[in-house]
Amino acid sequence: MAQVLEFKLPDLGEGLTEAEIVRWLVEVGEVVAVDQPVVEVETAKAMVEVPCPYGGVVTARFGEEGSELPVGAPLLTVAVGEQAAPGGPERDPGTGGAEAARAETTKAAATGAEQPKAEGSGNVLVGYGTSEAPARRRRVRPVRPEPAAPQAGAAANGRPVRTAEPEGPVPVISPLVRRLARQNDVDLRELTGSGPDGLILRADVEYALRAATARGGRTAVQPGVADQGPSAPRAGSPVSSAPRPGGIRTPLKGVRGAVADKLSRSRREIPDATCWVDADATELMRARTAMNASGGPRISLVALLARICTAALARFPELNSTVDTQAREVVQLDHVHLGFAAQTDRGLVVPVVRDAHARDAEGLTAEFARLTEAARAGRLTPGELTGGTFTLNNYGVFGVDGSTPIINHPEAAMLGVGRIVPKPWVYEGELAVRQVVQLSLTFDHRVCDGGTAGGFLRYVADCVEQPAVLLRTL
């Protein structure tokens, strides 16, 4: 006899208490294997695929795409056992199917029926599954009836109705962009992507929304809120006589919400100060060119800067600290887990290179490349986004010279690096054109005074100007 098992949203780790459903990977009535990813969710740390520890037929799904679920809430139900077959009755994915699935689970528990033993361990490890990863099954989509052809010139919501649906998915950079288009009734097939090979970016969707507003068409709605017309207030919301300002509204949730909370907390709790210095990076650039000309793996500039940072932290360990506010203690850490700021389509994230002090320039280059690729693809795990002890921020890639970074709470310091550009410089007593960079250090004044911070920054500048200085610390 088939039994219906309920799979709840697992604890995704790192203190996360909720997640937003980005995209369902299975349909009701579809057969799933043990550890097959069933849903893609976005947390405050990353976007991950959640594998199901049971194998069988999906009987119900809980939550629509774009909705948030707390950890421990029902995610879906799976019928397991000998009678669970893909040809069985398909349940409605809405409330009726969910209630029926719950009723079957309750009935099985009340009659004392033995629950089938799942082949997986039952401990959902996001990104890893619960056992040896099986071959991912081909998705079986239910056959949908063909829509009736609309009348010529017919329109819905002020937009033309498509008379034909081209086959194949529209190339979109991420599910978040696809969801933004869906929630604001933007037809992706009518857009021309500005990305590589016509890839549709978030900027393309936002441009279409602005253009529709300028034409007097449909006003962009808040994501996750149904368009109820100009006079229909949201359920449960107080009616206000003041008109809401126009424009595109983006909720501060997910990664952007987490970043906003962390930056606000940093400004609120940390008494920070910033010092900066200009440095001649000509010799550092020459050293990198010589290293890459040797025929081995190419070394990135950020890896050399990271190597300089770890050497400087060994000399000034006060900056590799955190403040325990409850115990009123400064905790000096014995490992350097180096974070680096990475700009992605989903917002600013800070991946962490574990044990950066134990890696050479080649190892740092490889790890930076791996984490950067994962960040842009939205595959970073919560563990790869937390636990940093010091952050390197290379804002020079945006073409700016300087900045005053905000410390990545609960760390104690961040080193900022501007662009490296040719500038007039006094070199060996004569005016010359040199490759100059501005370095800035924002630090928590509770962990050290200006003398320590200045010494750290001066040592970094000395290594940039004369890379041989670094050899004395190796």
Nearest CA-CA partner of 459 in 341, 330, 307, 274: 307
Please provide the DSSP assignment of 171-201 as one string: -BS-HHHHHHHHHTT--GGG----SGGGPBP
Distance CA 56, CA 203 (A): 41
445 is catalytic: yes
Count of CB atoms situated within 10 Å of the CB of 401: 17
What are the C-alpha distances in Å from 391 to residues 101, 148, 248, 356, 360? 48, 57, 32, 11, 18
> What kind and span of H or E run contains 294?
none
What is the chain's alpha carbon radius of gyration, rounded to the nearest angstrom? 27
Phi, psi of 282 (to 5 degrees): -60, -45
What are the C-alpha distances in Å from 463 to residues 278, 280, 355, 438? 13, 10, 21, 14
What is the DSSP-derived secondary structure letter of residue 409?
A: T
Contacts of 89-95 with C-beta under 8 Å, sequence gap 24+, read 90/28, 90/29, 90/142, 91/28, 91/29, 91/59, 91/60, 92/28, 93/27, 93/28, 93/60, 93/61
Structure tokens at 39: 């849903």
Distance CA 403, CA 177 (A): 30
From the list 335, 337, 357, 445, the catalytic residue is 445
CB 376 within 8 A of CB 47: no
Nearest CA-CA partner of 362 in 286, 291, 297, 293: 297
Active site residues: 445
